[in-house]
Amino acid sequence: MAPLDRNTHGVFAIAPTPFDEEGAIDFDSLSRLVDFYGDAGVTGLTLLGQMGEAPKLSHEESVRIVQHVLKRTDLPIVVGVSAPGYAAMRALTVDVMSAGAGGVMIAPPNTLRTDDQIVSYYEGAANAIGADVPFVIQDYPLSFSVVMSPAVIARIANAAPGCVMLKHEDWPGLEKISALRQLEADGAMPRLSILCGNGGLFLDFETERGADGAMTGYCVPELLVDVVRHTAAGDRDAAHDVFDAHLPLLRYEQQPGIGLAVRKYVMKRRGILTSDTQRKPGPVLSARARTEVDYLLSRLTRKDSRVTLTA
């Protein structure tokens, strides 16, 4: 349960929140999920992100989930604490850090536009949560409508010592990684751990560009671990070979709106989640879409023997 730092690398799995069919939190599935991630070789977990349906959880539920996971694993945990007000952000941060989390993740509100607005928001947030709490910038323009240039990220990193990691999911984003690493090399900003999202859709090149790994929730996290490992070992072709084998399913899961439904469905088929229910309002995977995922899984299992289906 080490805290995040500027050199954290590997794969942080974005954990979905398991619900039963009535929408109550399913802690048994959550336990299985945590064990599964550990077996898959991830280096950490991220709880209460968008893909964890965090906005649909109460403060108490959020804290219970974090406590449950922390009891189950020694992996470092990042917790999403985004909130409309700094007071709520601080309250959740205090609760989860005292429970043993390794850091928190903060997304920008969708009203921010200019560089100054974005920097000012993160300065205020860093001040609210306390200088000693390691935090992650969540940079996801497609979802939040907030675009952060490398210069803005550098300004935040320079202003807030607690800022140690970037969850990178700009799109397109490869040049951004190169630009940030150049700014670091030039001494213009401190090093950040860069973990990439976007469902892993560009992970094969992101790691080559200098990213430290992935922070995303692809339903076969073993693949993410492989790509990071092969790239770190300098085995480019091996990284791409395994990546390409998974790309058809990974691409299917990366559809906005229904991505989480695909993810939960596969995790149900893999025997991890008892139900693939999302809290309402939320999308439901059509019968036809399920057969498409089934087809992709049948093709994948012929290429990757670790993907076994029990349901």
Q: Site residues for its own copies, window 251-310 (CB under 8 A)?
A: 251-252, 255-258, 279-281, 286, 288-289, 292, 295, 299
Contact call for residue 152 and its own copies (CB under 8 A): yes
Which residues have C-beta within 8 Å of that of residue 31, sequence separation ≥ 6? 68, 72
Tell the smallest beta-carbon distance from residue 67 to its own copies (Å). Answer: 19
Nearer to its own copies, 11 or 148 (CB): 148
Judged by CB under 8 A, does residue 53 bind its own copies?
A: yes
- Residue 170 in tokens: 């700009």
Q: How far is the CB of 167 from its own copies (least distance, A)?
A: 18
Of residues 2, 87, 233, 311, which one binds its own copies by CB under 8 A?
Answer: 87
Touching its own copies, residues 192-251 (CB under 8 A): 201-202, 204-205, 208-209, 236, 240, 243-244, 247-248, 251
Does 128 participate in binding its own copies (rule CB under 8 A)? yes
Instruction: Please count the other Cβ atoms lying within 10 Å of the Cβ belonging to residue 130.
Output: 13
| Residue 116 found at the interface with its own copies (CB under 8 A) | yes
Contact between residue 136 and residue 106 where contact means Cβ atoms under 8 Å apart:
yes
Binding residue (CB under 8 A) for its own copies from 7, 74, 113, 130: 113
Question: SS3 sequence, 3-17?
Answer: CCCCCCCEEEEECCC
Please count the residues of this chain forming the interface with its own copies, following the rule CB under 8 A.
Answer: 60
**CA distances in angstroms from 78 to 75, 87, 99, 139, 177, listed in the order given:** 10, 19, 12, 15, 21
Nearer to its own copies, 4 or 156 (CB): 156
Q: How many CB atoms lie within 10 A of CB 260?
A: 24
Label residue 50 left, alpha or beta by phi (over 0 means left) and psi (-120 to 50 means alpha): alpha
Omega within 30 of 0 (cis) for the link into 172: yes
Contact with its own copies (CB under 8 A) among 86, 232, 274, 294: 86
Instruction: Out of 39, 71, 124, 161, point to the residue binding its own copies (CB under 8 A).
Output: 124
Residues 6+ apart with CB under 8 A from 252: 262, 292, 293, 296
Name the nearest CA neighbour of 48 among 90, 8, 9, 92.
92
- Which of 4, 63, 75, 148 forms a contact with its own copies (CB under 8 A)? 148
CB of 244 vs its own copies, minimal distance in Å: 5
Work out whether the CA dihedral 263, 269, 271, 273 comes out positive or negative.
positive
Pairing of strands 135-139, 163-168: parallel
Which residues make up the interface to its own copies (CB under 8 A)? 23, 53, 55-59, 84-88, 91, 110, 113-117, 121, 124, 128, 141, 147-149, 151-152, 171-172, 174-175, 178, 201-202, 204-205, 208-209, 236, 240, 243-244, 247-248, 251-252, 255-258, 279-281, 286, 288-289, 292, 295, 299
